Amino acid sequence: MAQHATTTHAASDDHGHGHGEHFAHPAPVWVLLGTFGALIFLTILTVFIADNVELGSFELLVSMGIATVKAVLVGAFFMHMFWDKGFNVLVFLSSLLFFALFIGFALMDSYETLPNVSDYYKR
Amino acid sequence: MINPLQSLAQFYLPKQASNFAAETDFLFNAILWISIVSFVAIVVVMVWFAVIYRRRPGYVPKPSPSHSLGLELLWTIGPSLILIWIFFEGANGYATLKTPSNDAEVIEVTALQFGWQFTYPNGEVTDTLHLSVNQPVRLQMTSNDVIHSFYVPEFRAKMDIMPGRKHSMWFKPTLIGEYKLFCTEYCGEGHSKMVRDVIVHAEPWKEMLRKNVRWREDQNHPVANGHRLYKLWCGGCHSYDGSAKTGPSFKGLASLTNREFADGSSLSFSGSESDEWQDYISESIRKPDAKIVKGYPNQMPSFEGKLSPEQIGYIIRFLREVDGGTYTEPAKPATESEVEAGAEAAVAPQ
Amino acid sequence: MATVTQKQQLFGHAPTNHYLDASRGVMSWIFTLDHKRIAIMYMYGVILSLFLAGIFALVLRLELYTPGPWFLTSAQYNQMFTLHGAVMVFLFIIPSIPAIIGNFVLPMMLGAKDVAFPRLNLASLWLYWAGGFFFIVVLATSGLDTGWTFYTPYSTTTSTNVIAATLGAFILGFSSIFTGLNFIVTINTMRPKGMTWFRMPLLLWGLYSTSIIQVLATPVLGITLLLLIVERLLKLGIFDPAYGGDPLLYQHFFWFYSHPAVYIMILPAMGVISEMLGVHCRKEVFGYKFIALSSVAIALLGFLVWGHHMFTSGQSEMASLVFSAITFSVAVPSAIKVFNWLCTMYRGDINLSTPMMYIMSFIFLFGIGGLTGLWLGALSTDIPLHDTYFVVAHFHYVMVGGTMTSLLGGLFHWWPKMSGRMYNEPLGKLFCLLVFIGFNLTFFPQFIMGSLGMPRRYHEYQAVYQIYHQLSTIGAFTLGIGIFGAVMTLVYAWFFGRKASGNPWGAATLEWQSSSPPSFHNFEHRVIVSAPYDFSSVVYDESVDGYVPVVPKREAAPAPQPTPAPVSN
Amino acid sequence: MATTNVVRDEYSELVDLEHSHDHEHGQFIAHHFHSAEQQFDSGKLGIWLFLVTEVLFFGGLFVAYIIYRYNRPDVFIDAHHHLDTLLGGLNTIVLLFSSLTMAWGVRAAQLGDNRTTAISVLATMVCAALFLGVKAVEYSHKWDLGLLPGNLFSYDPLAKHDHALISNYLVMLCVPFGVLLLGFLLGAILNLNTGKKLIGQFYGGMAITMLGYFAGVGVGVLWMATMTPKHDSHDDHHAAVVVAADAVRPVVFSADDAAPKVETAVVDGAAAAEAPAGSTAPLDKSLGVFFSIYYCMTGLHAVHIIAGIAALAWIFYRSLAAQWRPDYFGPVDFVGLYWHLVDLIWIYLFPLMYLIR
């Protein structure tokens, strides 16, 4: 018998204490304003690049890169991920992982079967 | 020398009629025996335990461990090895399936609700698939409407056909005979009627094609032309013997005096020679959604651009012929002039 | 001093004011926030759907008794199999175990009063009803004939009521998401002190894994169905090739949800089996950690294999190879579970009760269902078997043989807790046997005709397959009688059964520390957390005709205390 | 089968524990939670999981976008001529600002400053409505031009586009917000006059929110008005591009294939049926697929904005009622997280839709 009875009480006696604000983490004002400033700067930057810089096939990469930096800023500071429980962050990031799987497989398949589609229209 | 396992397989596997069959069946049987052995072992152990360790007066269970890393590893790694072997065998067979032979004959396949059209290299079109034994073929498949799937069990070959893209598959028939071709992707009301014959000929069909045994509409009786076009284009949804199919039957269509439509309107005809009747049939083929017969959904695709005016004319001749519900093969026209006369008569009014 | 009466009040059948009696009137049920009542109301819907779709199945089987058309037209036949599939999948099997057994048992296994979000739970139930209502609308209007997969472009062109059906499935998807979300949060934040992750009952692991899939995969179904609706209305051109769309993309969207959905159906069943097996063998479940983690492994790997539904669809060869390889990797955790279950029986104290019969039936049927998956995972053998009756038989062995068997087993197991009454043991066993025989007779012949080449969804078939179809039809009616009988046995027990004590099986998980049926707040007393399969923590007590917990000495709690003297031998 | 070795005295201890901690529960702690923190943690994990479902819900549309952009890059490059980067950029900044005010509101709620929370949430709602107003101008302008999804697409580059500045579509889109504005104004005046300060303030705030929508419409229309001359010449230039593309159809799949063939009837069937043979420049419906995806993505996003306004209104009311305390601010935080996610999605939509060159 590996696990023998280690019995404890379910409703713990000590839940009564600490109705405090120890789970609230108000974000400092300068962090909020700084994040906002950075976001505006990046928005203007991405429009500027799209209009004035010829990047060819890298264009999508650059604009997505800037968008991702913006997303990280919003996530980390506006959404408090910077201060949040690791598990919650993990939960959110897992959605991105599964989205990546979805898009990865679908795109891989689409990439390889494109000739079948173009063949059809070439006929 | 008869392999007993081989002869057992005939009860659960179709004949082996293509080059893939032996390889696929080998894996099928291998998995079968692996499964039988492991399944029997599991069930025997389960029932045995249930009997000898059942709760009963006087029975005192002996202590036993609640976990064992060794056992867990054993039954993680053991099955994994078998599974890896099965995967590679399957992938091998799949590679054969996907690597067409160089000397494959190309046949164009068009799937439509609810029938098949096979176009051979010389331009001949049939509704049953003719192959010659040991001649590899490559099917270039397209669909006219929804997703269909080409499946001949004896060939162990299957491929979906999606509209909007070209699909390709190949195989080499190795056994003379007649087989069934099934559509295995659900495609609508007549899905289960989308079964046609596949005939593997002993003499090379290719040779026959070289001798130009292709259907020439200008050398055949217009009604025979119409019958052929019916089989290729219409037979999936319309019967001519009055039996129920997706669309209205052609029986009695030529002697129709009045037709009611889904929108409440109706048309009267004075015989199948009248312009009204011929215009109605011609319109129904080219723009089927213009007049929907009462009691039927709007589901027929347009054949505009797929059938020439002459061909529509042949179909009209055929419709007059099968008005009574039966079709008799017309005698071959004797002279060229008769053929010409027949072709002229068949041209539909525009 | 506690008296025998007091003990009976605590651990015997419910004396006063249990959850069924706590309040009266229809409104007290419709607007209840009590997870137990929500579970019961889910049960009505799920069992009703089972019967409805079961009748469709019997009609289908009867029609298929002859090769040609008999009493159904092709159009009616196509509607029948579509509605059978759609109702069974969306209204019966996906909600079945999580919504009934999960809702009832999960909070109690945690010693909690309710799930984390009772209102969300109620919303989930309402959405289930609303989704079911749309399926009624489908039945009352032009029906549905697309197959439950709604493949484009057929679904965008057919004249049947695809929009109502997809809207219904869309709404049911949200019902499923809410249940999953609720369970994850409840298990994460409401576990009692002392119950670490690896001291949770195995059912909770099964439900947790299921919930992960529900939350991650179901939204994709939502967007797929939404796009399909808009595609039908506005001819978007995303899925319909007539307007430049790609039907293969639809299949990727659909199976990204629907393959993991297969695990939504089977993982809770595996949890139920693991849970009941320990109790009815009265032995710690063998390889607890492996069973627990294999559930999570199946849930995560399940997201990587959807392409094995598309081996013949014309997806790229590379994709087929990758999907096939990953498919085999899912087989390993399933095998691990089966072997661990067998080892749990070894030297057990096996109570040959009705739930135990269902457990053994499950292992038998799931064994066949799982092993036949090998043919379908291997590329070259899948090609001829795809879309034949072999596939039909395979997934029925897993879904019906697996999930429905364990649902019935689970209902028999937790029925004393839900209703406060014991069922009739001989009747329970009889109908279990009937279900088992009928099931095998129905679906085993389908393997053979499938490997012989009989395609699925065929109204008319070649005469050579007739004998298998006839066996299958006979089996289907046997199965129907079996299921009906089993449900009737439970219904009879609900009203006329012998009163059950709080813990008639001697289970060590927390839900059995309540009275039967439980009170409104679940527990009349503080629960005592022990290891979930430590059966020395409960002892038989004649005065309540059931098991009562061994109460720890005060000075010993909450620190670990030495193993009590063996009680059962 | 076994004898009992229960210590009977313990039962009395077991019994008295029911409801023993109920008195500790504050007003905002549901009966099944033990503490404010447990309740907050549950809610927080719940909202994160909800966001996960949202990401995957939108994820499907992103997959469709990327597959089609990959399959038909030319259509997507064509499309950017029809989207106004400045309005899109303006909306981006509006949404980013609303995120700032939302985060500010959460901070204030965490500190128990209900007044600041109310003002911040109101600002967030006004920004949301303003975003919708601009979007309404964009949508109605496109509908006027026939830039519609899929098969409805009827944009003719050769036709003259002298439409009214304020189109009928825009008026229709404004009607519900106008009705709401009047209703809220009336409600605010009536309630404030009768002394119901809380509900009056709430209605007032909602009226201001609706005014935000009309501010957005105004900005959009003004911008369109200044752009009109330039916009038309832009279209003319573009017309040449489309006609050139039509000459080598189906350009999408094979640039080397010259003449469109009869077999492509499956694809062009609908278009061919509408355009009589011999007419010039058949409509290029492939652009319609881009607009299908455009409307699906931005439309679903707009639905989320509307739902966000509803949720924010609830938070706004409770802020006015001063219900937030340092140990109870969960709902503000959760709605905030949702709002930031809506912002996050727009952060990706903006470059994907508006910045293709």
Query: What CATH topology corresponds to B105-210?
Result: Immunoglobulin-like (2.60.40)
DSSP-H helix ranges across C197-246: 202-234
The structure tokens 């400053």 sit at D113
**Residue A4, pLDDT above cutoff 50:** no
List CB contacts (< 8 A) between B190 and chain C: 74
* CB spacing of B49 vs C345 below 8 angstroms: yes
Q: What is the pLDDT of residue B234?
A: 82
Q: What is the pLDDT of residue A83?
A: 86
> What secondary structure, in 3-state letters, does D249-317 show?
CCCCCCCCCCCCCHHHHHHHHHHHHHCCCCCCCCCCCHHHHHHHHHHHHHHHHHHHHHHHHHHHHHHHH
The structure tokens 């039927």 sit at B296
Mean pLDDT of C178-197: 92
**Residue C134, pLDDT above cutoff 60:** yes
Please indicate if any CB of chain C lies within 8 Å of the CB of B153: yes
Q: Which residues pair with C499 in a beta bridge?
A: C421
A66, A111: one domain: no
Mean pLDDT of chain C: 90
Residue whose C-alpha is closest to residue D356's, from A56, A67, A106: A56
DSSP D111-170: HT-HHHHHHHHHHHHHHHHHHHHHHHHHHHHHHHHT--SGGG----TTS-----SS-HHH
Query: CB under 8 Å to C513, separation ≥6 — which residues?
Result: C11, C111, C502, C503, C523, C525, C527, C528, C549
Q: What is the pLDDT of residue C168?
A: 94
Of C111, C307, C536, the CB nearest to A5: C536
Instruction: Establish if A45 belongs to a structural domain.
Output: yes
Q: Within chain C, which residue ranges are assigned CATH 1.20.210.10?
A: 32-272+281-289
Tens digits of residue pLDDT in A29-84: 899 999 999 999 999 999 888 888 777 778 888 889 999 999 999 999 998 888 88
Give pLDDT tens digits along chain B (350 positions): 456 767 788 889 999 999 989 999 999 999 999 999 999 999 999 999 999 999 999 888 888 888 889 999 999 999 999 999 999 999 999 998 888 888 888 899 999 888 899 988 877 888 889 888 888 999 999 998 899 999 999 999 999 999 888 889 999 999 999 999 999 999 988 899 899 999 998 876 656 555 555 677 777 788 888 888 888 888 878 888 877 777 888 887 877 788 888 888 888 888 777 888 888 888 888 888 888 888 787 778 778 777 888 888 888 888 888 887 788 777 665 455 555 555 554 444 44
A94, A67: one domain: no
Instruction: Establish if A11 belongs to a structural domain.
Output: no
List CB contacts (< 8 A) between B302 and chain D: 269
Query: CB under 8 Å to B281, separation ≥6 — which residues?
Result: B253, B312, B315, B316, B319, B348
**Residue C231, pLDDT above cutoff 80:** yes
Structure tokens at B4: 């007993």
Q: How far is B167 from chain C (nearest CA, A)?
A: 7
Instruction: Establish if A36 belongs to a structural domain.
Output: yes
Boundaries of domain holding A97: 85-115
* CB spacing of B190 vs C458 below 8 angstroms: no
Q: Determine the Cα–Cα distance for residues D302 and D342; give it in Å rounded to an integer.
A: 9
Q: What is the pLDDT of residue D327?
A: 84
Structure tokens at B225: 């032309």
Q: What is the pLDDT of residue C271?
A: 95
Tens digits of residue pLDDT in C384-422: 999 999 999 999 999 999 999 999 999 999 999 999 899
Residue of C nearest to B194 (CA): C458
List CB contacts (< 8 A) between A92 and chain D: 48, 51-52, 55
Tens digits of residue pLDDT in D9-37: 444 444 444 444 444 445 677 888 888 88
A55, A37: one domain: yes
Q: What is the pLDDT of residue A11?
A: 37
Residue C251: what residue type?
A: Q
Q: What is the pLDDT of residue C9?
A: 67
Q: What is the pLDDT of residue D284?
A: 60
A38, A55: one domain: yes
Mutate to test the interface with B, among D71, D264, D266 (most CBs of B within 10 A): D266
C535-538 contact pairs (CB < 8 A, 24+): C535/C282, C535/C283, C535/C284, C535/C506, C535/C508, C535/C568, C536/A1, C536/A4, C536/A5, C536/C563, C536/C564, C536/C566, C536/C567, C536/C568, C537/A5, C537/A7, C537/C508, C537/C564, C538/C503, C538/C506, C538/C507, C538/C508, C538/C512
**Across C350-364, D55-69, D194-208, D215-229, least confident range:** D215-229
Instruction: Establish if A1 belongs to a structural domain.
Output: no
Question: Would you tell me how many other CB atoms lie within 10 Å of the CB of residue B6?
Answer: 12
3-state SS assignment for residue C104: helix
**Residue D278, pLDDT above cutoff 50:** no
Q: Determine the Cα–Cα distance for residues D78 and D235; give it in Å rounded to an integer.
A: 11
H/E run at residue B138: strand B137-143
- CATH number belonging to domain D47-258+282-354: 1.20.120.80
* Contact of C97 with C410, CB cutoff 8 Å: yes
Please indicate if any CB of chain B lies within 8 Å of the CB of D60: no
At C116, the pLDDT band (50, 70, 90 cuts) reads very high
- CATH number belonging to domain B217-346: 1.10.760.10
A77, A31: one domain: yes
* CB spacing of D9 vs C224 below 8 angstroms: no
A96, A107: one domain: yes
Mean pLDDT of C497-503: 89
CB pairs under 8 A between A and D: 173
**Residue D355, pLDDT above cutoff 70:** yes
DSSP-H helix ranges across B287-350: 309-321, 336-346
Residue of C nearest to D29 (CA): C116
Q: Are strands C498-499 and C421-422 parallel, antiparallel or unpaired?
A: antiparallel
Burial class of D350 by CB neighbour count within 10 A (0 to 12, 13 to 18, 19+) = buried
Structure tokens at B31: 């998995």
Tens digits of residue pLDDT in D122-159: 999 999 999 999 999 988 888 887 777 777 777 766 66
List CB contacts (< 8 A) between D357 and chain A: 50-51, 59
At the top level of CATH, which class does the domain C32-272+281-289 belong to? mainly alpha
Q: What is the pLDDT of residue A16?
A: 37
* Contact of C19 with C113, CB cutoff 8 Å: no
Please indicate if any CB of chain B lies within 8 Å of the CB of D277: no
Q: What is the pLDDT of residue D24?
A: 45
**Residue C355, pLDDT above cutoff 50:** yes
A34, A79: one domain: yes
Instruction: Establish if A94 belongs to a structural domain.
Output: yes
Burial class of C515 by CB neighbour count within 10 A (0 to 12, 13 to 18, 19+) = buried
Q: What is the pLDDT of residue C461?
A: 93
Q: How far is A4 from chain B (nearest CA, A)?
A: 12
At A122, the pLDDT band (50, 70, 90 cuts) reads low
What's the distance, Cα to Cα, between the start and end of chain A in Å?
72
Q: What is the pLDDT of residue D230?
A: 47
At C73, the pLDDT band (50, 70, 90 cuts) reads confident
Domain ranges for chain B: 4-54+62-98, 105-210, 217-346
Q: Determine the Cα–Cα distance for residues C206 and C98; give it in Å rounded to an integer.
A: 9
Residue whose C-alpha is closest to residue D132's, from D209, D184, D224, D58: D209
Q: What is the pLDDT of residue D252?
A: 35
Q: What is the pLDDT of residue D68?
A: 85
**Across B287-296, C450-459, D4-13, D278-287, least confident range:** D4-13
Structure tokens at C148: 């439950």
**Residue C510, pLDDT above cutoff 50:** yes
Most confident of the ranges C39-43, C140-144, D228-232: C39-43
A72, A107: one domain: no
At D357, the pLDDT band (50, 70, 90 cuts) reads confident
Nearest 5 degrees, angle CA B210-CA B215-CA B220?
135
* CB spacing of A120 vs B166 below 8 angstroms: yes
Tens digits of residue pLDDT in B61-84: 888 888 889 999 999 999 999 999
List CB contacts (< 8 A) between A122 and chain D: 253-254, 257
Q: How far is C83 from chain B (nearest CA, A)?
A: 14
CATH architecture, domain B4-54+62-98: Orthogonal Bundle (1.10)
* Contact of A2 with C285, CB cutoff 8 Å: no
Structure tokens at B200: 């593997």
Nearest 5 degrees, angle CA C35-CA C108-CA C535?
155
Question: Would you tell me how many other CB atoms lie within 10 Å of the CB of residue D53?
Answer: 25
Please indicate if any CB of chain C lies within 8 Å of the CB of B292: no
Based on its alpha-carbon atoms, the radius of gyration of chain D, rounded to whole angstroms, reads: 28
Higher pLDDT, C410 or A17: C410
Distance of CA C304 to CAs A52, A107, B165, C326, Å? 41, 14, 26, 7
List CB contacts (< 8 A) between D269 and chain B: 302
* CB spacing of B166 vs A113 below 8 angstroms: no
Number of domains in chain A: 2
